[in-house]
């Protein structure tokens, strides 16, 4: 099955060179802490750059997601991916800060692909409709910033 041949990776990365073993089409099993956010979150992050923003993006993965509220007994509700190309305008500043990977659905712009190569980052693609499935693997969710934007 797919997970038996999956390559494993844990975020945040201690060494970005770990990404060198990945090629397009690889099945990837992700563990560790990942950052989550969509358009509004990215706009807020960029508005904070140049100030004393507390979050270190080095080695991090950002999952382009807008989670839904958790049902009773669950950590999170559905956490399906957002169309990644919507976040392409925000990509370069975060890569400059050390971002290692992004995850979402759909194609990336030519410019985004060029930036990913330049900064030796990877794009991990998932598919729409995966939110309920993916939510069962989330063990903990912690709001780090921008409570006004929701969970």
Residue 71 lies in a domain: yes
CB atoms within 10 A of CB 151: 14
The answer to whether position 103 is within a domain reads yes
pLDDT at residue 64 greater than cutoff 90 = yes
Beta-bridged to residue 105, according to DSSP, are 83, 126
Does the structure show a pLDDT above 70 at 129?
yes
Res. 143: pLDDT tops 60: yes
Residue at token pair 């990509």 = 91
Condensed to tens digits (0 to 9), the pLDDT of residues 66-112 reads 888 888 989 898 888 999 999 999 999 999 999 999 999 999 999 99
CATH number, domain with residue 77? 3.20.130.10
State the average pLDDT over residues 118-123.
Answer: 96
Number of domains making up the chain: 1
Higher-confidence residue: 147 or 115? 115
List of residues 6+ apart from 37 with CB closer than 8 A: 45, 62, 64, 65, 149
In this prediction the pTM is: 0.90
- Residue 61 near residue 11, CB atoms below 8 Å: yes
Cα separation values, 84 from 17, 70, 99, Å? 24, 24, 15
Domain that holds residue 130: 57-142
Tokens 């903990």, residue? 140
* Within-domain flag for 21: no
Question: What does the pLDDT read at residue 66?
Answer: 80
């Amino acid at each position: 099955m797919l997970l038996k041949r999956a390559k494993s990776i844990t975020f945040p990365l201690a060494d970005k060179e770990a990404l060198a073993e990945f090629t397009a089409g690889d099945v990837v099993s992700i563990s560790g802490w990942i950052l989550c956010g969509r358009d509004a979150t990215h706009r807020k992050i960029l508005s904070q750059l140049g100030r004393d923003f507390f979050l270190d993006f080095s080695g991090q993965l950002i999952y382009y997601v807008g989670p839904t509220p958790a049902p009773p007994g669950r950590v999170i509700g559905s956490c399906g991916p957002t169309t990644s190309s919507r976040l392409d305008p925000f990509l370069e500043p975060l890569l400059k800060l050390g971002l290692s990977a992004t995850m979402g659905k759909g194609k990336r712009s030519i410019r985004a692909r060029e930036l990913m190569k330049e900064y030796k980052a990877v794009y991990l693609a998932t598919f729409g409709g995966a939110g309920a499935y993916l939510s069962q693997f989330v063990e903990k969710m912690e709001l780090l910033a921008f409570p006004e934007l929701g969970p």
